[in-house]
Structure formats: C-alpha cells, structure tokens
Amino acid sequence: MLPTDLISALRTRRLLAIVRGSDPRTALSTVITLVEEGIDVVEVSLTCADALGVIERAREHLGPDAALGAGTVVTPRQAHLAAEAGAAFVVTPGVTDAVAEARDLGMPVLAGAVTPTEVASAVDEGATAVKLFPASLGGVSHLRALRDPFPEVPFVPVGGVDARTAREYLAAGATAVGVGGPLVGDAASGGSPAGFGRRIAEFRALAQEVAS
C-alpha cells in the first residue's frame, strides 16, 4: 500500500476501525466481519492477543489489497514484524523510532501526536497522516486549532471517539476518525454478535451520511 492509497481509503471510508481483544480467534473473526460489512480500513492493535498471528491470518483470508494495519507500533522491530505479518500500514501512539522505520520499509504511517511540536515532528519523520491522540484531551476545538497551522496535514482523531463526536470531528475537517470500543465493543473478546452488528450498522450509516 502506498501512502496515497491509505489517504484515499481514509478520505473515502472516513472510518478506521481499531480491533483490540483477548481472544485471537474472535479478534480474527471481528476483523473479517468489519471488512465484509464495509468498514474495511482496519487496525489490529499489537496489544491484542497474538496480534501478529491475527494480522497474518486476516491477510491470508482478505487477500493482498485489504487496508489492514498494525496499531500500537512503538519500536522499529515491531514495525518489521508487522510488515512480515502482512500489515499494509502502521499506526503509532506517538512519534517514536517506529515512524521512520516504517517509512523506510515503504509502509504508510499514522503517527500519534497531540501538540503542534509533535505534529511537526511527525510530518518531518515522514508520517502519512497524524493520529490525533488522545483526541479526547482537547476535543474538536483542539483539532480546529491544529488545522490552522497545519492545513495540509490529514488528521485522524483517535481516543474517546463515539458516534456523536465522530460526526463533530469529521465536520471540523478530520480526514477520518479512528474508533475502537464504541464500534468493536467486546466483539474481539467473544462478545455478542448481535450487538456488534448493530454498532457496525450505526457507524456505516454515519460514514455514508458524512460522505454524501
């Protein structure tokens, strides 16, 4: 995946689903369900049980073109392992050495940042987009303030984003939003399929509403 491909996917889909879970089997099922239901830009956090195995098996199932990434990538070694497992992009919680490593591997990077200095550093390190994290720290007003000095930077707010705030961030100029718990819930740890289905429908409708 090229950086332009990831940006295009984020701008089109407006959602980055974040999967974390304690059960590799259900985490894999969660990833596949999300993609098959149309929420097809998905990050598997490396805090997930057997995350690299989940990414590898999801890649085998979904094929080479799926926008499947690895999240909570902190070290250069983790970036390498994510690439070997089949991740198409990486997401970091901050501007760590993993950003430059993933860039050098040819992988798009969503680098975590919350201050103007961190945003500038992420851009300097070659980040494809900035993961505004934790977005809940400053809310929508913080995103608006950052977009003034960084109008060309694609921002993806993550952390405390639910259906209501997702609309607000997207209306304020976010390229996409990253959503974990409010979308995935406990599905990746064996939770209710029915509840997961309702949340998928809600967020899919939200993304279609914003895109229209």
Catalytic machinery residues: 43, 131
| Residue 180: both structure tokens together | 């974990």
Q: Count the alpha carbons within 13 Å of 81 in the hemisphere toward its beta carbon.
A: 15
Angle, helices 24-36/193-211, rounded to nearest 10 degrees:
40
Region label for 44, one of left (φ > 0), alpha (ψ between -120 and 50) or beta (otherwise): beta
Cα(43)–Cα(31) distance, integer angstroms: 9
Token pair of 61 as six digits: 């199932």
Helix (H, G, I), strand (E, B) or coil at 211: helix
Q: Is 118 helix (H, G, I), strand (E, B) or coil?
A: helix
